[in-house]
Amino acid sequence: MKVCIAEKPSVARDIAEILGAKQRKDGYYEGNGYQVTWTFGHFCTLKEPHDYVAGWKTWSLGDLPIIPNHFGIKLIENSGVQKQFKVIETLVHQCEEVINCGDAGQEGELIQRWVLLKAKCPAPVKRLWISSLTEEAIREGFNKLKDAAQYDNLYAAGSARAIGDWLLGMNATRLFTKKFGDGKAVLSIGRVQTPTLAMIVARQKEINAFVSEEYWELKTIYRKTEFTATIDRIKQIDRANKGLAYLKEHPFEITSFERKEGKEGNPRLFDLTALQVEANKKYAFSADETLKHIQNLYEKKLVTYPRVDTTYLSEDLHPKIAGILQDMTPYKALIAPLLQQPIPKLKTVFDDKKVTDHHAIIPTGMYPENLPLDEKRVYDLVARRFIAAFYPECKIANTTVLGKVGQVEFKATGKQILEPGWKEVYANDAPAQKEGEEEEEKEKILPVFEVGESGPHEPRVHKGKTTPPKPFTEATLLRAMETAGKQVEDEEMRELLKDNGIGRPSTRANIIETLFRRKYIEKKKKNIFATQTGIDLIDTIHNELLKSPELTGNWERKLRLIEKGEYQMETFKQELVQMVVELTHEVKNNAGRTISIAAEKPAAPAKEEKEKAPKKTVEELQCPKCKTRLLKKGNTAYGCANFSVCGFKVPFEVFGKKLSEKQVTDLVTKGKTGKIKGLKAGEGEVEGKLALDGGFNLIVEQ
């Protein structure tokens, strides 16, 4: 029997149907020599600090840095997860072969490998690696199963990423929370999250510090064409008026007329980030919303695997393109011109060197029926981009006209579309302009001018104001994350910088959502602003390693090198360990002001965040004697978790008084309580403090 493990029940159902495993069992399908089971996302996670050392559950500066000798995994504490894991565990111990059918990406590889590791799978493992969930793709994938060992580097990169995030996130979050927090909430630090926030804060500071200045420009109209003076902006109105008077005394003369024909290259196919950028610009979808919509379209077999960072297709896909286009019947009118001749094998579309595990996001050709509106919109973006990639280039003419009035030089530019080419795909697809969105450059046709011609003109003074830098939108923030903070418009340069981007396409949406959830950033209309809490947090972090987009991008590059087998996971881990050790030493010895975020604490933090937060219950405290955690011992006392060896305990009632949790906490953490009346000591009642002596025994101090 062969056991297939998919990442979702719906995918397992599709695979089971194709393989003939049609008998439904408890947690799996069976038939035709196959058992098809599933996970539903992450079943395992890295162990938490207290899983290694019980005392590490309490947040203490003295324990930092926390660096386990070896990292382990554990099952997530969820009854559904644990029940389904038992099914998987049983099946893999009874089979002849396991086929890993998880999502074909780094995260999917990590999810499945951890499950098999936890289940102590003894069977050999094969890997199903496909880029879409159509029946044809699944059948083809099962005919070309890979050895699991081919993806060991991918798993190593996923493990290195998880361990790196654990090392930095766990230590830095505790470090800054205990050093600079107000005790009411967590100051969250992350390998990707913090430099992303730092970029937003830096932009916010530029905006806050900006002082708008008035300026004046000289303009004139000649033959119904507006020209602008090429001199520097004028800072005083008096000078501008003198310039205007001068212009009125002289005619306008054409000194140069240049018209160049050119081409506007076709838009690239979508990777995930480009799709999220476009959906944010056009429909104001958040990155997370777009990811959910495209993932749903993938699971409905309408598009290929979406969590990709390439805009290219593999060359072996070229023969299939015409068939995919033929099947896209809703776009029949747009596709008809393409099918009248062979599909060109364009280098801007097909390039094996630019494709790693997956190609760009494209339609599968399956008919999109009964889609929710938002999914339909995202599908339309992908479909039109795919069609536009194979249309002719857009031919344009750029015109530059130079002139002068006396000694003052002027300039006007124009643009004319000669042949729309690929722009025809979007001819009837112009959405209403949204607030805060830049208006697309419009066609501006200039008349033909002759050099040396001259005549009257209509000069004027234009008053303007300098504007601050634009705040980030999700679209521009995603681009900044992709290029490690560099402002890049050129597609080729953007491709080169992707290896050094902050985060991965599949994680960036979650990073942005995390910053919103933790109240470090906020959205006003489409614009993203840093909150005062976010600004304070970044100001508190003096270590540039935590804040630098470029350095974080360098870590991402190393993770990609691990994926390619060109860098060692252990080396990466040791670099992170060294950084965490140095960071801990630096912060412990630094002074800084307390950051209060109580008013902005998330209303409903995730379970793991609750577990990370410093709590005030006595059970979360350390034993003052051996540093192991305290436990509630029945209804009589709080005692050390290692009581049989240590022997430390604090009775609920001592010297005739029932102790409050605060008094126990003070006793354990400070060595003594505040003053307590009515303590029974000696022959009567006294007022005094409970304290621990040198042997950690309870005494009364008067």
Active-site residue list: 305
At 223, phi and psi to the nearest 5? 50, 50
Whats the size of the chain, residue-wise? 702
| Residue pair 84/27 in contact by the 8 Å Cβ criterion | yes
d(CA 352, CA 445): 41
d(CA 322, CA 311): 19
Q: Please enumerate in sequence order all residues whose Cβ is within 8 A of that of 512, keeping only pairs 6 or more positions apart, or say none.
A: 196, 286, 287, 288, 474, 477, 478, 521
The two tokens of residue 7 are 């990442």
Chain position carrying tokens 């953007």 = 494
Chain position carrying tokens 């069976």 = 30
Q: Which of 698, 523, 566, 628 is nearest to 50 (CA)?
A: 628
Q: Which of 650, 235, 242, 266 is nearest to 420 (CA)?
A: 266
| Residue pair 468/210 in contact by the 8 Å Cβ criterion | yes
Q: Which of 356, 361, 408, 353 is nearest to 384 (CA)?
A: 361
In terms of C-beta distances under 8 Å and separation of at least 24 residues, what long-range contacts does 668-677 make, across chains too? 668/618, 668/621, 668/622, 668/623, 668/624, 668/630, 669/621, 669/624, 671/624, 672/701
- 223 — alpha (psi -120 to 50), left (phi > 0) or beta? left
d(CA 304, CA 111): 20
SS3 262: strand
Beta bridge partners of 214: 465
